């Protein structure tokens, strides 16, 4: 039996393509949960991770849609809504 393996870059690109449809109009990505107690988080952590992923996939593919998604994510992370009292 022969297995076809994909590269890390292919895996990142496929993930980023699917994630594009999850990004909200404000640039945020869905919130998650962390830890054994299933504590809910804000969208900030996941959006930060996806920002880095979108930038890397843009670097790999040069497809503007990933740069646009990264820009929207960054704008969300810099927004007053996410940075109360200009902190965090």
Any idea where the domains of the chain sit in the sequence? Answer: 41-83
Residue 18: the pLDDT is: 97
Report, as an integer, the average pLDDT of 47-66: 97
Residue 33: the pLDDT is: 84
In the chain, DSSP assigns E strands to 33-34, 39-40
Q: What is the pTM of this model?
A: 0.86
Q: CA-to-CA distance for 31 and 21, rounded, in angstroms?
A: 15
User: Tokens 């994909």 appear where?
Assistant: 6
pLDDT digit string (tens) for 32-48? 887 788 888 889 999 99
Residue 57 has pLDDT above 80, yes or no: yes
Residue 88: the pLDDT is: 66
């Amino acid at each position: 039996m022969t297995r076809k393996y994909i590269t890390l870059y292919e895996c990142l690109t496929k993930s980023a393509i699917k994630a594009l449809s999850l990004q909200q109009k404000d640039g945020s990505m869905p919130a998650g949960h962390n830890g054994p107690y299933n504590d809910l988080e804000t969208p900030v952590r996941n959006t930060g991770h996806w920002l880095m992923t979108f930038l890397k996939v843009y670097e790999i593919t040069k497809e503007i849609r990933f740069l646009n998604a990264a820009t929207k994510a960054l704008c969300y992370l810099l927004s007053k809504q996410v940075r109360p009292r200009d902190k965090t």
